Amino acid sequence: MRYILMSFALFGIWLLWSGHYTLDHMLVLAMGVLSCAFVVYLSHRLAIVDEEGHPIHLAGRLVLYIPWLLWAIVKANIDIAKRILNPQMPIDPLVVRVKATQKTDLCRVIFANSITLTPGTVSLDLDGEDIVVHALTREAADDVQSGDMNRRVTALER
């Protein structure tokens, strides 16, 4: 199943990048299909397609997580913009340590990357279950430590 989905994904990307969508270019389309099939064959022979490299098991739950993450990014952008435009608003940089409750390395990396994607916070180190986070404000640090993002990423594993 993983290889079939990988084939469709590769061919879809190839179609987008090639710009050949009609049967007038039959040879080009055939070469695209063959090249995608060859890449899938090589991936199978090299045994490089696994849950971590091609995480299709997360796809259904990511549909719910990505909009929430985008909204968190928008809110953090607004907060940072307010602090830049209003010098009276405090910027109090600090480093905090957050406990990641995810079981897999993949979801811990998703959690750390989500922290970094949110303006005002950067994941500095991922050490086992701990993530060291630099936050521009106390509020940003409190948001990371509140555990809402942590719970949502952990829910991806279920």
Task: Give 92-137 pLDDT, tens digit per residue.
Answer: 899 999 999 999 888 999 999 999 999 999 999 998 899 999 999 9
- Domain tally, the chain: 2
With respect to residue 142, please indicate whether it lies within any of the assigned structural domains: yes
b/e sequence 16-53, b meaning 16+ C-beta within 10 Å: eeeebeeeeeeeebeebeeebeeebeebeeeeeeeeee
Determine, yes or no, domain membership for 51. no
Paired residues of 65 in beta bridges: none
Domain that holds residue 36: 2-46
| Residue 74 and residue 40 share a domain | no
Strand locations in the chain (E): 94-99, 121-127, 130-135
Question: In the structure, what pLDDT confidence band is assigned to residue 70 with cuts at 50, 70 and 90?
Answer: very high
d(CA 55, CA 6): 10
* Reported pTM: 0.73
